[in-house]
């Protein structure tokens, strides 16, 4: 028996809703149901378990698109049974019952990671005598795996990639959360990994610099949507970090880093995040936001609501040759 429907995140702030209100000559483009739907969509994007931890009345009203008194709005939601208190946090009433798929997103991710680890362990166990090297490698590999190589080679010639201490895992490398801030100086070294950039300070044994290092700066160059779509993920992550720094330094969006962290932690498409921040930067050049905090955040969320699905679909088409023909 079918007792529910699916609503895509792109419905949040979709232009067709505003056009419908204009076509019907409505004084207000949103009614009670619209506030509820927008609140649910924002919760699904940013608080998948339905617990609004860290959200106060203003955050809840902003998520729903309510522009009046936020306390009055939240009191009305609570009085009519749409939200309720659980300790110090607000929660959506019966969220896990009505939204089991969204609420189980973190559990599915954990299960996927566990399955990836299991496949890796299986591959390692089937790698011949490389496993026999592990007992004598482990005591030497702690803190300095390279010291283990001389005694590993006789046991695993040509199979070093199968060793536990050197293997490339088949689980995806996570995006750093939070993105490091402030931006590193020239006195710090940068280690580029296959998917993310991690910053490490110089060792305390290194000789001191002759003079304080100058800050590392970069000039922002807006990338087109098409160019972002064709970027490799490591490049996208690098651009996100650089653009967040620009938005913060110029006072356009002081919480740009927090926004990017929130979106990436919620498994949003990194290309869509870069596109939303780019749109935010360009909009501020022509029509500055009323403030440098909530207005840019709300604007970027609206862009994400429309573009995240588009970028996911394009990525799927690139990965599926049969669909791209």
Residues 130 and 93 reside in one and the same domain: no
Tokens of 145: 């795996």
Rounded to whole angstroms, the Cα distance separating 180 from 164 reads 28
Q: Is the pLDDT of residue 313 over 90?
A: no
Rounded to whole angstroms, the Cα distance separating 105 from 223 reads 31
Residues 121 and 97 reside in one and the same domain: no
pLDDT at 75: 93
pLDDT at 166: 45
Residue-wise pLDDT tens digits, 191-210: 333 333 333 344 445 555 44
Number of structural domains in the chain: 3
CB 145 within 8 A of CB 165: yes
Boundary (domain end) residue, out of 82, 101, 120:
101
Rounded to whole angstroms, the Cα distance separating 77 from 267 reads 28
Q: Is the pLDDT of residue 290 over 60?
A: yes
Residues 127 and 83 reside in one and the same domain: no
Beta bridge partners of 190: 199
What's the number of CA atoms in the CB half-sphere (13 Å) around residue 96? Answer: 8
Rounded percentage of the chain residues whose pLDDT exceeds 90: 26
Rounded to whole angstroms, the Cα distance separating 161 from 178 reads 30
Tokens of 289: 């936001």
Residue 322 lies in a domain: no
Residues 117 and 91 reside in one and the same domain: no
Instruction: State pTM to two decimals.
Output: 0.37
Closest CA to 195 of 224, 236, 141: 236
Residue-wise pLDDT tens digits, 3-16: 666 787 787 777 88
Rounded to whole angstroms, the Cα distance separating 321 from 182 reads 41
Residue 47 lies in a domain: yes
Residues 120 and 86 reside in one and the same domain: no
Residue 137 lies in a domain: yes
Residue 184 lies in a domain: no
pLDDT at 321: 54
Beta bridge partners of 83: 92
Residue 3 lies in a domain: no
CB 274 within 8 A of CB 240: yes
Residue 2 lies in a domain: no
pLDDT at 154: 47
Residues 197 and 222 reside in one and the same domain: yes
Residue 66 lies in a domain: yes
Residue 196 lies in a domain: yes
Q: Is the pLDDT of residue 264 over 80?
A: yes
Boundary (domain end) residue, out of 50, 81, 101:
101
Residue-wise pLDDT tens digits, 172-196: 445 555 555 554 443 443 333 333 3
CB 308 within 8 A of CB 272: yes
Q: Structural domain of residue 133, as residue ranges?
A: 111-162
Residue-wise pLDDT tens digits, 113-158: 888 888 888 877 765 444 444 444 455 544 444 444 444 444 444 4
């Amino acid at each position: 028996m079918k007792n529910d429907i699916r609503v895509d995140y792109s419905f949040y702030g979709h232009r067709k809703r505003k056009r419908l209100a204009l076509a019907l000559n409505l004084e207000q483009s949103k009614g009670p149901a619209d506030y509820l739907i927008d609140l649910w969509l924002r919760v699904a994007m940013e608080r998948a378990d339905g617990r609004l931890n860290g959200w106060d009345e203003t955050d809840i009203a902003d998520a729903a698109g309510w522009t009046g008194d936020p306390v009055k709005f939240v009191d009305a939601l609570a009085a009519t049974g749409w939200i309720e208190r659980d300790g110090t946090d607000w929660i959506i009433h019966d969220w896990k019952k009505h939204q089991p798929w969204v609420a189980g997103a973190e559990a599915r991710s954990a299960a996927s990671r566990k399955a990836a680890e299991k496949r890796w362990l299986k591959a390692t166990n089937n790698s011949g005598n490389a496993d026999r090297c592990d007992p004598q490698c482990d005591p030497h590999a702690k803190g300095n795996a390279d010291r283990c190589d001389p005694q590993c080679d006789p046991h695993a010639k040509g199979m070093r990639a199968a060793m536990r201490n050197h293997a490339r895992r088949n689980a995806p490398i996570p995006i750093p959360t939070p993105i490091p801030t402030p931006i590193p100086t020239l006195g710090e070294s940068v280690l580029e990994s296959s998917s993310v950039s991690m910053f490490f300070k110089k060792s305390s044994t290194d000789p001191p610099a002759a003079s304080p290092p100058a800050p590392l700066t970069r000039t922002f160059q807006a990338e087109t949507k098409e160019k972002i779509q064709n970027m490799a993920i490591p490049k996208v992550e690098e651009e996100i970090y650089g653009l967040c720094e620009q938005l913060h330094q110029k006072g356009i969006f002081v919480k740009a880093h927090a926004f990017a962290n929130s979106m990436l932690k919620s498994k949003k498409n990194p290309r869509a995040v870069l596109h939303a921040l780019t749109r935010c930067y360009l909009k501020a050049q022509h029509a500055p936001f009323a403030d440098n905090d909530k207005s840019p955040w709300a604007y970027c969320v609206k862009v994400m609501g429309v573009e995240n699905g588009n970028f996911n679909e394009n990525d799927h088409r690139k990965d599926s040759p049969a669909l791209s023909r």
